[in-house]
């Protein structure tokens, strides 16, 4: 080959002795021999290459799927570990994940974002591990100081998770799950545009589950009171689309915590 850059590859077709046609990949490259450079031409059955590429891609995809499933299982196991110390929170996290996942699916979020909700949801209150059990299980009204201590669980959860290099922003979702779209939430008082949609979904699922369940300091307020709370604060504290989807799921009997 006198001119042009090497290597070159192109697809063409070949014809077998029986007249059938097949796809060929032709590659031309220059190699250095003892008496000078020489151009060599490789012919490869293109279908064979495509088949091998497809097999490799499928293998990688299934391996990646297994690793992602493993991460989800580890997150769920970590969340369950909390059960020994604080069964209320462990049970609460599981229920929040169930609701948040269905809301995210209904909103048409991509698979990776739904998985990030599942992981973050399973761990969102893990920071309560640092809150004294006397406060978590207190049956009466919490003092301001006790409430301030409880509020640290977002940052503590973030600190626990941040060293794990998840392929999703799990730590940030955990840190943001008590933020409210009008900026009245904690710990950073973020506003709507700065709160991840995963955290906004968890926030709604979190409130609905918490209000409709028994707590050491009060009996269940009931699912209707929980739905009224998110409806009343739709667009104020909670993202309107998330609220609408959540209300629809309960009112059309398509979701229940039982």
Convert 128-190 into a string of H (helix), E (strand) and C (coil). HHHCCHHHHCCCCCCCHHHHHHHHCHHHHHHHHHCCCCCCCCHHHHHHHCCCCCECCCCCCCC
Query: Which residue in 86, 206, 229, 239 binds Fe ion (CB under 5 A)?
Result: 206
**115 in contact with Fe ion (CB under 5 A):** no
Q: 194: part of which helix (H) or strand (E)?
A: none
User: Which CB sits closer to Fe ion, 86 or 125?
Assistant: 125
User: Which CB sits closer to Fe ion, 198 or 206?
Assistant: 206
All residues at 6 or more sequence positions from 226 whose CB lies less than 8 Å from its CB, including other chains: 207, 208, 209, 210, 211, 212
User: Which CB sits closer to Fe ion, 115 or 209?
Assistant: 209
Residue with tokens 């059960």: 83
Please, what is the minimum distance in Å from the beta carbon of residue 128 to Fe ion? 7
Please, what is the minimum distance in Å from the beta carbon of residue 127 to Fe ion? 8
Footprint (CB under 5 A) of Fe ion, residues 2-61:
none
Size of residue set near Fe ion by CB under 5 A: 2
User: Which CB sits closer to Fe ion, 115 or 206?
Assistant: 206
User: Which CB sits closer to Fe ion, 99 or 227?
Assistant: 99
Using an 8 Å Cβ cutoff, are 100 and 117 in contact? yes
Question: What's the burial of 1, exposed, middle or buried (CB within 10 Å: 0-12/13-18/19+)?
Answer: exposed
**239 in contact with Fe ion (CB under 5 A):** no
Which residue stretch of 22-30, 56-64, 198-206, 234-242 sits at the interface with Fe ion (rule: CB under 5 A)? 198-206
Please, what is the minimum distance in Å from the beta carbon of residue 204 to Fe ion? 11
**86 in contact with Fe ion (CB under 5 A):** no
Query: Which residue in 125, 172, 198, 229 binds Fe ion (CB under 5 A)?
Result: 125
CA distances from 121 to 19, 63, 75 (A): 61, 24, 9
Using an 8 Å Cβ cutoff, are 117 and 202 in contact? yes
**Interacting residues toward Fe ion by CB under 5 A:** 125, 206
């Amino acid at each position: 080959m006198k001119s042009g850059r090497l290597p070159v590859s192109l697809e063409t077709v070949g014809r077998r002795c029986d007249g059938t046609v097949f796809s060929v990949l032709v590659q031309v490259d220059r190699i250095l021999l003892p008496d000078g450079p020489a151009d060599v031409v490789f012919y490869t059955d293109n279908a064979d290459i495509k088949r091998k590429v497809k097999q490799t891609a499928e293998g990688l995809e299934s391996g990646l799927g297994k690793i992602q499933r493993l991460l989800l299982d580890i997150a769920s196991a970590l969340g369950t570990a909390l059960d020994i110390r604080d069964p209320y929170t462990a049970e609460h996290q599981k229920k929040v994940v169930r609701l948040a996942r269905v809301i995210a699916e209904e909103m048409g979020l991509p698979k990776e974002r739904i998985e990030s909700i599942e992981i973050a949801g399973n761990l969102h209150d893990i920071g309560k591990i640092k809150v004294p059990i006397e406060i978590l299980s207190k049956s009466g009204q919490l003092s301001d100081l006790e409430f301030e201590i409880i509020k640290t669980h977002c940052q503590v959860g973030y600190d626990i998770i941040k060293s794990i290099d998840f392929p999703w922003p799990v730590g940030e979702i955990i840190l943001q799950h008590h933020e409210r779209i009008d900026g009245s939430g904690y710990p950073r008082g973020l506003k709507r545009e700065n709160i991840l949609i995963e955290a906004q979904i968890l926030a709604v699922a979190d409130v609905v589950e918490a209000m409709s369940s028994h707590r050491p300091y009060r009996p269940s307020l009931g699912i209707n009171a929980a739905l009224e709370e998110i409806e009343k604060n739709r667009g104020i504290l909670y993202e309107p689309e998330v609220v609408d989807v959540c209300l629809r799921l309960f009112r059309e009997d398509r979701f229940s915590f039982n």
